Amino acid sequence: MSDPGRKPGFPIGLRIRELRLERGMTLDQLSRAAGISASHLSRLERGQAEPSFTVAAALAAQLDVSLNDLLIASQTPD
């Protein structure tokens, strides 16, 4: 059914990956720019971790979107 490595409720990771790829950035490039490790960013993108407010804000800034846009765009419909 579902991927056992995925935790439900973290669609922000999918949005981060989408934006990163749209901008032609690698995991290393975005993680360095945001001040986090590439492995942490990878876990975020795969839904295996939830970003703190500070990390989400840093990622949004590096992806050139507002934090609000990042969070709202990653919400799934009910």
- Span 3-29, mean pLDDT? 82
Q: The domain 12-73: what is its CATH number?
A: 1.10.260.40
Angle, CA of 26, 76 and 69, to the nearest 5°: 55
Torsion angles phi and psi, residue 20, rounded to 5: -60, -45
Q: Is the pLDDT of residue 8 over 60?
A: no
Given this model, what pLDDT does residue 69 score? 87
Q: Is the pLDDT of residue 4 over 80?
A: no
What single-letter amino acid sits at 44? L
Side-chain-side CA neighbours of residue 40 (13 Å): 13
Nearest to 19 by CA among 8, 4, 30: 30
Instruction: Give the whole-angstrom CA distance, residue 11 versus residue 45.
Output: 8
pTM for the predicted model, two decimal places: 0.81
Task: For residue range 38-61, list pLDDT tens digits in order.
Answer: 999 999 999 999 999 999 999 999
